[in-house]
């Protein structure tokens, strides 16, 4: 039967059909249903009521729930190979911050780079990188990067960009007009190859290299002296006497990370006989100068006279000379007498005598180093001096610098500009450079650009030079790029991407390749990747004649991040004495001289948009977010100048206005200015930070563009506020003078004093007793030791800490009111006179005191002590009374006065991209809570987890806090002080180890190793 | 006569001396249910009325001491909680 | 009466003339019976707008964060804590007058006790605001109270800040009860006077059925005595504990054993000055000259003079101990106070607190209203600066010279300070119009001839 007339029955009776309808009608008994009337009932049924009730409760609950905004959490439905959620992966790569191409290890979590550190195996930088490299990750997640190709300020897609550009380049090269490519020096062989191919493809191309700071003078000097440009690196670790002339080799010159490591290795307090002695002769107080044992102030242009006089002195000392110096030179040299030079330039003759004695006494074990800024003839003289003293032993040709081509000097730049104006040049390609910012205004490069009707810029973000662009093309961050570098003879290092391009960018080599290959279609993600592999196969693998096939070789190389190449071609040639031409006779240098120096952190300005770098205080002046004209206090008095007064500095046709900063230790009548500041076309963070002094580059001079001896300054009457993280007070004010010494904050002595009184660091100690029972620390007890003999105050630890611990950038306005958030800071103290200051540095961080004064004053127990000796902050519990900070005798606690992630005058922090830089292991602190150094507790827990998993005891050696990891001098030691044979235990026991403010009996767990100065006893 | 009649007397006085004297007299003649109303406490009235000293201080003492001890114990307990 | 003819056996009068009981009631409850005049409303408008300024500043602070204040890294405590200590100090005179002087049987305090207590309560309320708002996350202030919770988290009884929480709240509670108990007989009087229905009901409730029976008086006086006994140690303990906030720390300039007595003296000093300032107006406006007599004012000035010298002694002693201890950092801190960047504040403090009050040695000045008023104003300014000097100078230059920094208050800081004054005076104004500012019962008790003549004790 069909579904339609299917019949349902409720009872057998019904089925039978004999159903009494009445019964159906009165289903219920009488009276039950009489009053029952739906319409009369309350519309709100019980079910409905409960429904509403629960709904409203739910709404109330959600309304009152957690006030942080909840983001969607996406799990790995199928996990990518090799990615374990919560476990970081490390990729070896090559840093692109400067030309030195240090090997780096990039730490990624779930495919997101979060930390950069040195590659331990890398032969040059041995696991360390500079502050800039550490912080470069901030630029990767910079929301203001150029995100799409731009044509005439309009976004456009890549394929049309390529096709159009290829067309125009072809037509230009057919017409024979010039295509100028401006680029930074290329340290990558493969990239160089690409450029060469570009030149073949478009023959009229001319590739010009420029870098605001470079070592051309050194190279030229070397070339003249030895006939080749294989400038060797220096074995600092074998030099017992170092004389540095205006050379900041510990701060910013050459691979200063390597230099610092080698230098500090001869500052080992367990082997004091092996201490080196550092003499520095310089105009500005550089980081190297601040670490010197003896320092002489000398105007930069007087360096030539000085070296000549030194030469003369050394040669005349009987039997001093290791090589034959012909009489001609000798006679000429005789015009330069050291005493005369000393008196002319007011040099301390006692120190000079020490210097000469030391140099002669340590033939072959000393080194004289001239700074990059000094003209080539000084370098030649220095080379000769080293030869004379037989110091060429300390040249290291194995790791000599690879010579990658000439660079434009300002003269040549003028020619290029002239050709642009004359219309010879039809196209200019800015290959990741910013010439408008770097070239002095008087060269009028920007105007010249106007005369070129086809300008293409390959840039990471819009800059001063993109204003006249036809096309502005976004390029990858180096973490998104493939690449290689060959900077040192023996190392060929590789760069690999650790994250897919975040924006619609391409890597610059691939862009050129696409144009070379002449069709937009050829582009794909791995275009350059393949090209790179091919080149590596030819240039490296084939030469090496290895048993392994290329792919496994390539993968191994990528894993290591570099390939060792044995290249013996560089070696020492005989010194060409004729290269030394001795100028008439020493001159007086009465003019006002300007010395231009590189900034310690933001380089030539390309890192100006990096808040972390802008905020790291200057290693000496502690100024952040600014540059300034450093001037000697005495000179300032003559000119009636105060901190922050604006002056107009004029060099040649260019003049620049910038604020004065009284810097003890600067040579008289000299101002030192750091470049890289004053960017105008850049996004929020770097915009108008500091003043652009690039125009002061000395266009006229043949010798050195960074030195001007004929400068003039005038007081404008305006003033400007410079803010430093450390109050300055005059060194003459006896009330506040040398407090760091009298309070026992800094303990230091000469080696001689040390040998006389090994316990000097504890002379001031008081006997401590406690009226309460001491807590017993079973198991681990974490502690740190900082060796002030090794520390050079390079601030890498600060940068490393910032990245590891999500330290917010607070901006200039907050630094101004003393609210910087750095957990790790480096205190700088001056003693001595304001002319000849003695600088003492001290890294300061939470001391994790056993009897921490902060803990017992917190009303809510938000800060307390862990069983393994950590002083902990419980952010969730913190109410923000700030009592702990008041009671902290080391003032290392930092308070979130605002939510610094959205309060940041110079750049809005809370966007979608920037937070990606945060380390997921570390809480991001909210407004109103106190924070401070945790001894990188996340790393301690990591080690604990591993130990538990491997079923072994926790070992302090496996815990490496960010600061220790970063420190290029190995000045920081961390570990379990309860483990008797650990390094930290040894350090803490050592007689040189002292506690800052020991008499407070707070029992800090950071031990400082007293600084020993390698100076003669008489002048202590 | 078997039904009791309740008598009440009231007097108005101008000076404290008079009212004290009156009170003393009444007290001496063994009256119990009487009272003295003054706009302010008149010294010596308590003795004049032969009133027993108030027992309030003892109550205060007991309550005060016990709550003090209670609080001390509480603090001690909490501090123990924190220490371990 | 002049002090040279002072006869200690004689019960001299503290109320001038011999006002009848009725006239006392009339004069004291006049402000309550009459409608407020224009001047009153103007005054109220001023204080309310001051309060408004503070309110806005607070809202901004809650929205943006404590960064709006001048506080920075070494100087974690700025104006809010200074104001807190200042106001708690103001809150001291009241209880001192009503409780301690009561125990000392100082009859002259009867005229001013009620008003002083009122001020105490409002001052402590004002002070109470600051600990609450100075935290970085005020919405979590609840954490400061020991309540059982699922985390098993408790407060830290080692922290002076926590002692503060309890000390101040206890002090407030006791002062309030003390004040109310004092009010009961007066409520009864008002109840009996008023014809207004609503007032009558309110007064009937608040007067707790007071009939003025001597059996009431007997217990009443006992309660009052016990409460006075309670309040007396509190007067000393509160500021002692406030001083612990500083004294218990290890900061040079804070870590000082002299602080408790020094703070209490200072508190009484500033408290009396404030009471004196305000009373000068009250007695004029409401014609209480015969109740709050010039003698009374003079006595207060004597107290001010005395405490001023106590404070001066403390200033001197701090320096002596710093020198005597031989602790270099300690010595530096104090020299730095007098000669360092905050010398200006230090010398304002010394001049206002130690030098000016010395003028009270002259009877003429002690008994001339304008002079005493000006001096008392100076005292209040000086005492505010004392708290500023203590809090800020010590923090701004402590152990490590590297982290020294100068502290500059911001507009927001000052707005909040102004607001606190507005808050305080608003309550004071309301008080004068809603409650008897002088205790009628207590005054009656000390009018000449109010007590039996053959009194023998």
For the residues of A881-919, what is the DSSP string, one character each?
--HHHHH-TT---EE-SS-TTT--TTS---SSSGGGGS-
Is the predicted pLDDT of residue C456 greater than 50, yes or no? no
pLDDT in tens, A174-219: 888 999 999 999 999 999 999 999 999 999 999 999 998 988 899 9
* Over residues A379-396, mean pLDDT: 90
ipTM for the predicted complex? 0.90
* CB proximity list for A249: less than 8 A, separation 6 or greater: A236, A256, A259, A263, A288, A369, A371
Pairing of strands A707-719, A645-651: antiparallel
Band of residue A38 on the pLDDT scale cut at 50, 70, 90: low
What's the pLDDT score for residue A570? Answer: 66
* Over residues A853-869, mean pLDDT: 91
Q: Tell me the CA distances in angstroms from A588 to A301, A303, A342, A348, C283, one per residue in order.
A: 10, 12, 11, 17, 84
- Residue A122 or residue C27, greater confidence: A122
Contact B41 C146 (CB under 8 A): no
Instruction: Determine the distance in angstroms separating the CA of B9 from the nearest CA of chain C, rounded to an integer.
Output: 16
- Residue B34 or residue A965, greater confidence: A965
Cα angle, residue C317 at apex, residues C311 and C319 outer, rounded to 5°:
115
* CB proximity list for A818: less than 8 A, separation 6 or greater: A725, C72, C73, C74, C405
Q: Is A827 helix (H, G, I), strand (E, B) or coil?
A: strand
Exposure on the CB side of residue A354, measured as CA atoms within 13 A:
22
pLDDT in tens, A64-76: 655 555 566 666 6
Q: Which chains, if any, share at least 3 CB pairs under 8 A with chain B?
A: C
Q: Which one of B35, B54, B79 has the shortest CB-CB distance to C214?
A: B35
Q: Is C422 helix (H, G, I), strand (E, B) or coil?
A: helix
Q: Tell me the CA distances in angstroms from A788 to A756, A962, A969, C317, one per residue in order.
A: 20, 18, 10, 41
List the single best residue of A827, A879, A1002 to mutate versus C (max C Cβ within 10 A). A879
- Residue C228 or residue A907, greater confidence: C228
Pairing of strands A241-245, A366-370: parallel
What's the pLDDT score for residue A4? Answer: 53
* Interface check C132 vs B, CB under 8 A: no
Is the predicted pLDDT of residue A280 greater than 60, yes or no? yes
Is the predicted pLDDT of residue B45 greater than 60, yes or no? yes
Is the predicted pLDDT of residue C457 greater than 60, yes or no? no
What's the pLDDT score for residue A977? Answer: 92
List the single best residue of C340, C403, C408 to mutate versus A (max A Cβ within 10 A). C403
For residues A838 and A831, the answer to whether their CB atoms sit within 8 Å is yes
% chain C with pLDDT above 70: 96
> What are residue A616's phi and psi, to 5 degrees?
-65, 125
Nearest CA to C274 out of C50, C84, C91 is that of C91
Comparing A24-28, A310-314, A759-763, C45-49, which segment has the lowest mean pLDDT? A24-28
CB atoms within 10 A of CB A734: 8
What's the pLDDT score for residue A907? Answer: 61
Q: Which one of B37, B49, B56 has the shortest CB-CB distance to C219?
A: B56
Contact C214 B41 (CB under 8 A): yes
What's the pLDDT score for residue B59? Answer: 92
Assigned token pair, A361 = 């006494």
CA distance linking residue C36 with residue A110, whole number of Å: 73
Residue whose pair of structure tokens reads 């090994």 in the numeric block: A758
Chain C contact set for B79 (CB, 8 A): 157-158
CA distance linking residue A328 with residue A311, whole number of Å: 14
Chain C contact set for A726 (CB, 8 A): 402-403
Supply the DSSP string of A349-370, one letter for each residue. Answer: HHHHHHHHHHHHHTTTSEEEEE
Nearest CA to C21 out of C441, C331, C412 is that of C441
Q: Which one of C74, C155, C400 has the shortest CB-CB distance to A827?
A: C400
* CB proximity list for A478: less than 8 A, separation 6 or greater: A93, A94, A95, A96, A136, A495
Is the predicted pLDDT of residue C299 greater than 80, yes or no? yes
Chain B contact set for C154 (CB, 8 A): 78, 81-82
Pairing of strands A1006-1009, A782-787: parallel
Band of residue A583 on the pLDDT scale cut at 50, 70, 90: confident
- Residue A758 or residue A773, greater confidence: A758
Burial of residue C101 (CB within 10 Å: 0-12, 13-18, 19+) is buried
Residue whose pair of structure tokens reads 């301390």 in the numeric block: A348
Is the predicted pLDDT of residue B84 greater than 80, yes or no? no
* Over residues B58-70, mean pLDDT: 93
For residues A558 and A552, the answer to whether their CB atoms sit within 8 Å is no
> What are residue A224's phi and psi, to 5 degrees?
-65, -40
pLDDT in tens, A814-843: 999 989 999 999 999 999 888 889 999 999
For residues A277 and A293, the answer to whether their CB atoms sit within 8 Å is yes
* CB proximity list for C252: less than 8 A, separation 6 or greater: C327, C329, C330, C332, C333, C394, C398, C399
List the single best residue of A882, A900, A1002 to mutate versus C (max C Cβ within 10 A). A882
What's the pLDDT score for residue C16? Answer: 74
* Interface check C153 vs B, CB under 8 A: no
CA distance linking residue C277 with residue B47, whole number of Å: 42
Cα angle, residue C144 at apex, residues C139 and C146 outer, rounded to 5°:
125
Q: How confident is the prediction for chain A on average, in pLDDT?
A: 88
What's the pLDDT score for residue C2? Answer: 45
For residues C203 and C190, the answer to whether their CB atoms sit within 8 Å is yes
Q: How confident is the prediction for chain C on average, in pLDDT?
A: 89
Nearest CA to A665 out of A251, A285, A287, A299 is that of A285
Contact C452 B74 (CB under 8 A): no
Q: Where are the alpha helices (DSSP H) in chain B?
A: 16-28, 45-49, 56-83
Band of residue A436 on the pLDDT scale cut at 50, 70, 90: very high
Contact B20 C452 (CB under 8 A): yes
Band of residue C14 on the pLDDT scale cut at 50, 70, 90: confident
DSSP label at A150?
Answer: E
Q: How confident is the prediction for chain B on average, in pLDDT?
A: 85
Is the predicted pLDDT of residue A1020 greater than 50, yes or no? no
* Over residues C25-54, mean pLDDT: 90
What's the pLDDT score for residue C309? Answer: 94
Nearest CA to A440 out of A698, A659, A242, A261 is that of A698
Q: Tell me the CA distances in angstroms from C191 to A724, C25, C200, one per residue in order.
A: 68, 12, 5
Four-CA torsion C18, C23, C24, C30, nearest 10 degrees: -150
Contact C21 B39 (CB under 8 A): yes
Q: Tell me the CA distances in angstroms from A1010 to A77, A283, A789, one per residue in order.
A: 55, 28, 7
% chain C with pLDDT above 90: 56
Exposure on the CB side of residue A679, measured as CA atoms within 13 A:
26
Assigned token pair, A777 = 């620390």
Chain A contact set for C339 (CB, 8 A): 735
Contact A860 C70 (CB under 8 A): no
* Interface check C139 vs B, CB under 8 A: no
CA distance linking residue C330 with residue C399, whole number of Å: 10
CA distance linking residue A260 with residue A971, whole number of Å: 11
What's the pLDDT score for residue A69? Answer: 55
Cα–chain center distance at A603: 9
Supply the DSSP string of A389-406, one letter for each residue. Answer: TTGGGGEESTTPBP----
Q: Tell me the CA distances in angstroms from C443 to A198, A335, B53, C440, one per residue in order.
A: 106, 105, 25, 5
% chain A with pLDDT above 70: 93
Instruction: Determine the distance in angstroms separating the CA of B1 from the nearest CA of chain C, rounded to an integer.
Output: 34
CB atoms within 10 A of CB A688: 12
Contact B16 C217 (CB under 8 A): no
pLDDT in tens, A132-169: 999 999 999 988 899 999 998 889 999 999 999 999 99
């Amino acid at each position: 039967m069909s579904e339609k007339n299917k019949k349902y029955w409720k009872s057998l009776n019904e089925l039978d059909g004999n159903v009494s309808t009445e019964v159906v009608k009165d289903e219920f008994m009488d009276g039950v249903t009489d009053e029952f009337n739906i319409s009369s009932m309350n519309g709100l049924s019980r079910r409905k009521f409960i429904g509403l009730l629960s709904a409203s409760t739910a709404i109330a609950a959600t309304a009152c729930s957690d006030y942080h905004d909840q983001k969607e959490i996406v799990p790995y439905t199928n996990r990518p190979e090799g990615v374990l959620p919560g476990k970081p992966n490390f990729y070896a790569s090559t840093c692109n911050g400067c030309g030195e191409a240090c090997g780096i290890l990039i730490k990624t979590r779930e495919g997101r780079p979060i930390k950069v550190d040195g590659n331990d195996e890398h032969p040059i930088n041995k696991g360390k990188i500079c502050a800039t490299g550490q912080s470069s990750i901030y630029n990767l997640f910079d929301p203001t990067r150029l995100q799409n190709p731009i044509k005439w300020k309009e976004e456009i897609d890549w394929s049309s960009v390529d096709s159009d550009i290829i067309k125009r380049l072809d037509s230009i090269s057919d017409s024979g007009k010039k295509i100028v490519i401006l680029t930074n020096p290329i340290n990558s062989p493969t990239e160089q190859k690409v450029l060469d191919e570009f030149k073949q493809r478009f023959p009229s191309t001319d590739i010009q290299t420029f870098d605001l700071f470079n070592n051309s003078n050194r190279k030229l000097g070397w070339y003249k002296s030895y006939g080749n440009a294989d400038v060797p690196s220096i074995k600092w670790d074998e030099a017992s006497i170092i004389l540095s002339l205006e050379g900041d080799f510990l701060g910013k010159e050459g691979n200063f990370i390597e230099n610092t490591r080698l230098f500090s290795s001869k500052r080992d307090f367990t082997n004091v006989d092996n201490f080196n002695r550092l003499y520095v002769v310089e105009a500005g107080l550089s980081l190297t100068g601040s670490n010197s044992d003896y320092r002489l102030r000398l105007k930069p242009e007087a360096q030539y006279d000085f070296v000549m006089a030194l030469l003369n002195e050394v040669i005349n000392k009987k039997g001093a000379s290791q090589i034959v110096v012909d009489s001609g030179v000798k006679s000429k040299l005789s015009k330069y007498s050291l005493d005369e030079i000393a008196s002319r330039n007011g040099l301390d003759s006692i120190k000079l005598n020490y210097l000469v004695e030391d140099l002669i006494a340590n033939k072959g074990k000393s080194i004289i180093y001239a700074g990059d800024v000094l003209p080539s003839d000084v370098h030649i003289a220095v080379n000769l001096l080293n030869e004379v003293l037989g110091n060429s032993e300390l040249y290291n040709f194995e790791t000599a610098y690879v010579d990658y081509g000439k660079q434009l000097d300002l003269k040549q730049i003028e020619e290029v500009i002239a050709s642009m104006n004359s219309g010879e040049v039809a196209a200019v390609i800015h290959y990741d450079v910013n010439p408008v910012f770097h070239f002095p205004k008087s060269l009028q490069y920007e105007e010249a650009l106007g005369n070129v009707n086809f300008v293409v810029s390959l840039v990471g973000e819009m800059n001063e030079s993109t204003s006249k662009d036809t096309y502005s093309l976004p390029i990858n961050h180096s973490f998104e790029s493939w690449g290689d570098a060959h900077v040192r003879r023996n190392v060929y290092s590789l760069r690999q991407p650790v994250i897919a391009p975040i924006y619609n960018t391409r890597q610059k080599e691939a862009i050129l390749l696409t144009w070379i290959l002449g069709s937009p279609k050829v582009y794909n993600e791995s275009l350059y990747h393949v090209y790179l592999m091919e080149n590596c196969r030819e240039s490296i693998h084939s030469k090496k004649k290895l048993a392994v096939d290329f792919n496994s070789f390539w993968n191994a190389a990528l894993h290591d991040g570099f390939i060792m190449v044995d290249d013996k071609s560089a070696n020492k040639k005989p010194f060409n004495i004729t290269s030394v031409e001795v100028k008439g006779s020493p001159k007086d240098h009465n003019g006002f001289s300007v010395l231009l120096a590189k900034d310690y952190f933001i380089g030539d300005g390309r890192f100006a948009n990096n808040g972390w770098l802008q905020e790291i205080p200057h290693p000496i002046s502690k100024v952040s977010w600014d540059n300034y004209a450093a001037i000697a206090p005495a000179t300032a008095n003559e000119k009636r100048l105060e901190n922050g007064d604006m002056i107009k500095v004029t060099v040649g046709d260019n003049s620049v206005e910038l604020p004065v900063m009284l810097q003890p230790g600067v040579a008289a009548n000299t101002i030192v200015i750091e470049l890289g500041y004053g960017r105008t076309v850049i996004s929020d963070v770097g915009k108008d930070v500091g003043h652009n002094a690039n125009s002061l580059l000395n266009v006229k001079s043949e010798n050195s563009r960074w030195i001007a001896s004929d400068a003039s300054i005038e007081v404008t009457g305006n003033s400007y506020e410079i803010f430093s993280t450390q109050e300055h007070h005059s060194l003459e004010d006896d009330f506040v003078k040398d407090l760091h010494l009298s309070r026992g904050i800094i303990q230091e002595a000469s080696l001689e004093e040390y040998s006389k009184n090994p316990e000097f660091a504890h002379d001031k100690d008081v006997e401590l007793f406690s009226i309460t029972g001491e807590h017993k620390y079973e198991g681990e007890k974490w502690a740190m030791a900082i060796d002030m003999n090794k520390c050079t105050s390079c601030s890498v630890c600060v940068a490393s800490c910032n990245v590891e611990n999500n330290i917010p950038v607070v901006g200039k306005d907050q630094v101004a009111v003393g609210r910087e958030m750095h957990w790790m800071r480096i205190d700088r103290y001056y003693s001595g006179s304001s002319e000849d200051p003695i600088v003492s540095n001290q890294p300061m961080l939470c001391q994790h005191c056993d009897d921490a004064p902060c803990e017992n004053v917190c009303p809510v127990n938000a800060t307390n002590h862990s069983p393994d000796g950590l002083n902990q902050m419980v952010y969730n519990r913190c109410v923000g009374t700030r009592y702990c900070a008041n009671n902290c005798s080391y003032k290392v606690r930092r308070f979130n006065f605002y939510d610094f992630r959205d309060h940041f005058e110079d750049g809005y922090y809370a966007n979608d991209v920037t937070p990606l830089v945060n380390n997921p292991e570390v809480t991001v602190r909210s407004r109103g809570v106190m924070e401070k150094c945790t001894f990188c507790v996340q790393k301690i827990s990591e080690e604990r987890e591993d130990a538990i998993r491997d079923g072994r005891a926790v070992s302090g050696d496996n815990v490496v806090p960010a600061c220790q990891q970063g420190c290029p001098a190995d000045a920081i030691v961390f570990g379990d002080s309860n483990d008797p044979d650990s390094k930290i235990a040894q350090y803490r026991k050592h007689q040189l180890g002292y506690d800052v403010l020991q008499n407070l009996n707070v029992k800090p767990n950071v031990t400082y190793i007293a600084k020993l100065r390698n100076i003669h006893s008489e002048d202590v | 006569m078997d039904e009791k009649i309740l008598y009440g007397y009231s007097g108005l006085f101008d000076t404290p001396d008079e009212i004290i004297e009156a009170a003393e007299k009444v007290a001496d003649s063994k009256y119990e249910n009487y009272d003295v109303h003054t706009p302010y406490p008149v010294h010596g009235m308590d003795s004049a009325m032969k009133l027993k000293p108030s027992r309030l201080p003892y109550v205060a003492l007991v309550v005060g001491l016990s709550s003090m001890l209670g609080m001390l114990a509480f603090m001690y307990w909490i501090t123990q909680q924190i220490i371990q | 009466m002049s002090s040279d003819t002072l006869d200690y056996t004689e019960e001299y009068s503290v109320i001038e003339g011999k006002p009848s009981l009725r006239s006392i009631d009339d004069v004291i409850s006049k402000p309550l019976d009459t409608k407020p005049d224009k001047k009153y409303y103007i005054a109220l408008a001023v204080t309310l707008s001051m309060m408004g300024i503070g309110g806005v500043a607070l809202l901004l602070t809650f929205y943006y964060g404590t960064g709006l204040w001048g506080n920075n890294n070494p100087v974690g405590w700025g104006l809010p804590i200074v104001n807190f200590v200042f106001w708690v100090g103001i809150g001291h005179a009241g209880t001192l007058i009503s409780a301690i002087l009561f125990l000392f049987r100082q009859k002259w305090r009867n005229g001013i006790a009620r008003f002083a207590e009122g001020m105490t309560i409002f001052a402590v309320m004002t002070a109470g605001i600051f600990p609450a708002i100075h935290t970085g996350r005020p919405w979590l202030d609840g954490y400061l109270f020991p309540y059982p919770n699922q985390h098993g988290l408790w407060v830290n009884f080692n922290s002076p800040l926590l002692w503060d929480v309890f000390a101040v709240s206890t002090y407030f509670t006791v002062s309030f009860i003390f004040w109310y108990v004092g009010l009961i007989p007066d409520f009864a009087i008002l109840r009996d006077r008023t014809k207004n229905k609503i007032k009558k009901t309110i007064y009937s409730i608040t007067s707790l059925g007071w009939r003025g029976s001597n059996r009431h008086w007997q217990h009443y006086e006992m309660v009052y005595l016990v409460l006075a006994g309670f309040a007396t140690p509190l007067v000393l303990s509160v500021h002692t504990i406030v001083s612990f906030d500083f004294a218990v720390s290890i900061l040079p300039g804070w870590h000082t054993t002299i602080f408790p007595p020094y703070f209490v003296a200072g508190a009484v000093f500033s408290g009396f000055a404030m009471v004196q300032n305000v009373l000068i107006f009250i007695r004029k406006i409401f014609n209480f000259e015969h109740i709050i007599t010039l003698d009374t004012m003079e006595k207060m000035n004597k107290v001010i003079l005395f405490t001023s010298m106590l404070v001066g002694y403390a200033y001197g002693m701090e320096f002596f101990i710093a020198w005597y201890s031989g602790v270099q950092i300690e010595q530096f801190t104090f020299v730095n106070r007098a000669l360092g960047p905050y010398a200006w504040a230090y010398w304002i403090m010394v001049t206002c607190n130690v030098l000016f009050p010395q003028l009270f040695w002259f009877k003429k000045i002690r008994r001339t209203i304008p002079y005493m008023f000006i001096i008392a104003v100076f005292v209040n300014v000086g005492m505010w600066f004392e708290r500023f000097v203590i809090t800020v100078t010590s923090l701004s230059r402590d152990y490590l010279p590297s982290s020294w920094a100068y502290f500059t208050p911001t507009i927001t800081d000052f707005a909040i300070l102004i607001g606190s004054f507005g808050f305080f005076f608003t309550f004071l104004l309301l008080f004068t119009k809603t409650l008897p500012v002088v205790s009628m019962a207590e005054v009656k008790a000390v009018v000449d001839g109010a007590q039996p003549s053959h009194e023998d004790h």
